[in-house]
Structure 1
């Protein structure tokens, strides 16, 4: 089982370190796999589809181009048939260490309409072969942050981290 903490590390979260606005939600866990396995789980569409949304939701049509400006896109399906497309780009990519995506743009740096968030994943290897996994969702306003929280950020992103943790031994 993944371990969860409630602390924010100013070395990881530049909003805390700089005093910039901080409309962020953070999930901080220790996962039972290496940064390389976690990277593979995120950057391989077939693997991402196995764990990236809370069951019984599902993901199809994942497109992952891990380079600055490359696509990070997928479609989420609710059990009741609702379809939620998600299309965005990578803003930063440091293989096996850190990546940032946003829905503010689509490929070609075209504005995507009303942006919701910027997501950052930071992986820190630990001495025991585990990895500190910090997932941060930054929002343009306190209102959108609270909306994301009300949608179930902590439960949803926590469940997804647990699902990721469960498949890591098989990678």
Structure 2
């Protein structure tokens, strides 16, 4: 299920996860848990360096099935315990601007709903072209697979 994007630069995915909000939050904020679900299988997440605070570094490395690694450095902009995470690739840790063109800012929200968690991911891109590129890369399919993997892990916590 998706919700309506705010504009032509945003992609949105929302799911009702059958897991407690505290567990879903932990899966996003604890490196050992994040590495278990973050990349859509058969990809993996061999590295996750998280300093979950505004201005804190987030560096998550995904790997394709051949073992090629793709680092994703960024910084947290907003952290509201068990409710909201906002991060961007426009900066690296300690507010250092990224070299090159930033790709997106992600806004994640976690809400209780009938004993489950309403999980919403909004990917806001700097340009419509970047948004279109992300959609063609398989945003809905990839983030959907990851949401399923997130739910499966969160249910075990």
Matches for 1:22-101 after TM superposition, within 5 Å: 22-101=8-87
Q: 2 CA distance for matches of 1:81 and 1:40?
A: 26
Compute the displacement of 1:22 (Å): 4.2
1:168 alignment partner in structure 2: 154
SS in structure 1 at match of 2:94 = coil
2:116 alignment partner in structure 1: 130
Match of 2:88 among 75, 99, 102: 102
Match of 1:7 among 3, 19, 37: 3
8 Å contact kept, 1:68–1:93: yes
Gaps of 5+ in 2: none
Match of 1:143 among 129, 137, 142: 129
CA displacement 1:75-120 (0-9 Å, x = unmatched): 1110123210111000000010001000000112111122110011
Gaps of 5+ in 1: none
Q: 2 CA distance for matches of 1:71 and 1:129?
A: 32
Q: Give the alignment's Cα RMSD to 1 decimal.
A: 1.2
SS in structure 1 at match of 2:26 = helix
CA displacement 1:113-153 (0-9 Å, x = unmatched): 22110011001111x21011100100000000000000000
Q: 2 CA distance for matches of 1:169 and 1:29?
A: 14
Q: 1 CA distance for matches of 2:76 and 2:94?
A: 11
Q: TM-score, normalised to structure 2's length?
A: 0.95
